Amino acid sequence: QTAKFAGIAFWLVLMARAIFPALLAPNGQDKNLLALLTSSVVCIGLFYGTGLFYGERTHISVMEYWRWWVVHLWVEGFFEVFATTALAFIFSTLGLVSYRMATAASLASASLFMLGGVPGTFHHLYFSGTTTPVMAVGASFSALEVVPLVVLGHEAWEHWSLQHKATWMKNLKWPLMCFVAVAFWNMLGAGVFG
């Protein structure tokens, strides 16, 4: 158990070592996107760590409680914010989207999670006898969580389609296609089928 926590702590320190010099640099640039990326990295590590709060002798009800945190609050909530913010940072660094668009998409993703993260899990309460309107609210909030990443992916696709105007984009064809595919499959898997 201690080794698992040490692994998460090591990951957080490694990320902080790379991100904090950029946050503290006095270059006068807007650092909202970088601050969102930093907070999403910390939250994704901490929320995944809740899955380590049980062991082999833990009662099943306690284990299921922490598993619920990892599966539904981490995967459907913080991971969406992290994925959107990380891709927004990469897209804005490559010049595929404007810094303002990347920050807006990241803030929209974080806001949707903060406003609808818990109601977004209501679509999982079918077997506990939850009524259809409550499950519909949960399904709606859950489907909305992917919208910022889809908008960001669409914007990147639009800029990538102009690839023949910049020679450096030909060298990054497959990484960019991978990022656009992430946005598409996230929309299809979580937004349509989720």
State residue 165's pLDDT score.
Answer: 63
Work out the burial of residue 119: count CB atoms within 10 Å of its CB; fewer than 13 is exposed, 13-18 middle, 19 or more buried: middle
For the domain covering 1-193, report its CATH number. 1.20.210.10
SS3 145: coil
DSSP letter string over 33-62?
Answer: HHHHHHHHHHHHHHHHHGGGS--TTS-HHH
- How far apart are the C-alpha atoms of 60 and 54, rounded to whole Å? 9
Give the pLDDT means over successive 10-residue stretches in the chain (194 positions): 72 78 76 84 77 81 79 73 84 82 84 75 74 84 76 74 67 76 75 68
- How far apart are the C-alpha atoms of 21 and 135, rounded to whole Å? 44
Look up the pTM and report it.
0.72
Q: Where are the domains of the chain?
A: 1-193
